[in-house]
Structure 1
Amino acid sequence: MAEHYSSFTEGGRLWLWQRITAAFLVVVLAFHFFLLHFVYHADEVTFGLSAARMQTWTYYSLMVLFLITATFHGVNGVYNALINQGLTGTKRQVVKWTLVVASGILLVQGIRTANAWAGIGVF
């Protein structure tokens, strides 16, 4: 019988968060697909209309939460896939911190972009 192996630690929360974020992403992606492919058609989607949607707190909050969730889900999945392939030692630490820094940059720039579209000035 094949041996089961997972990089997630037994009793750890990352496994659970990977599943929770997956479920959230399925729902938000369905909403996104419905809104931008059935409610509005491709020729109706404009920068101004997108900016107007971002100016409502519910849509803005959903998109920022979507960014955070997708970033966590993607980075956690890639990192654990690499661990499952045998990544260990110094390479593991380098990959981990590279992904952490890349995630931070992605989140900062994504939130800055969302704020600009929503007309929110931070500085």
Structure 2
Amino acid sequence: MAEHYSSFEYKGTRWFLQRITAVFLIGVLAFHFMLLHFVNHAAEVTFLGTQARMQQVGYFGTMIAFLVTATFHGVNGVYNALVNQGLSGTRKTTVKWVLIVASGVLIVQGIRTALYMAGIIA
């Protein structure tokens, strides 16, 4: 039988954060589906409704946490999948930094959009 291999250091920080973010994302996705697909059906979701929800501090904070958590979880998973496939050396370093920069850009743009939707910036 083949030996199990993972680039995650078992019970290391990235391993732990991957599991914690997964639990958080499951909860937030359940909240999202309940609110925007069952309470308010997709056809009823409007720009003004989104602005009204984003002006609520709790909703705004949850969406920012969702953005940061989902970005980390996804990028960490992609990076570790590539490492598991044999990525090493200079390519590994390059991919790591490209993913870090792309994550930063995604988070900054997401926060800017959230601030705009909340009416904090114009």
TM range (shorter): over 0.9
**How far 1:44 moved relative to its partner?**
1.2
* Within-5 A mapping of 1:1-123: 1-121=1-121
Aligned counterparts of 1:12 and 1:120: Cα–Cα separation in 2: 38
Counterpart of 1:79, as a letter, is Y
Counterpart of 2:49, as a letter, is L
Counterpart of 1:44, as a letter, is E
**How far 1:11 moved relative to its partner?**
4.3
**How far 1:43 moved relative to its partner?**
2.2
Aligned counterparts of 2:81 and 2:109: Cα–Cα separation in 1: 26
| 1:41-67 deviation line (CA, Å, top 9, x unaligned) | 122110000000000000000000000
> Per the alignment, in what secondary structure is the counterpart of residue 77 of structure 1?
helix
Q: Deviation above 6 Å: which 4+ runs of structure 1? A: none
Aligned counterparts of 1:43 and 1:2: Cα–Cα separation in 2: 50
**How far 1:4 moved relative to its partner?**
1.3
Q: Aligned residue pairs: how many?
A: 122
5+ unaligned residues in a row in structure 1: which ranges? none
**How far 1:79 moved relative to its partner?**
0.1
Aligned counterparts of 1:11 and 1:73: Cα–Cα separation in 2: 16
Name the TM-score, length of structure 2 as normaliser: 0.96
Alignment RMSD (CA, Å): 1.2
5+ unaligned residues in a row in structure 2: which ranges? none
Identity fraction in percent: 66
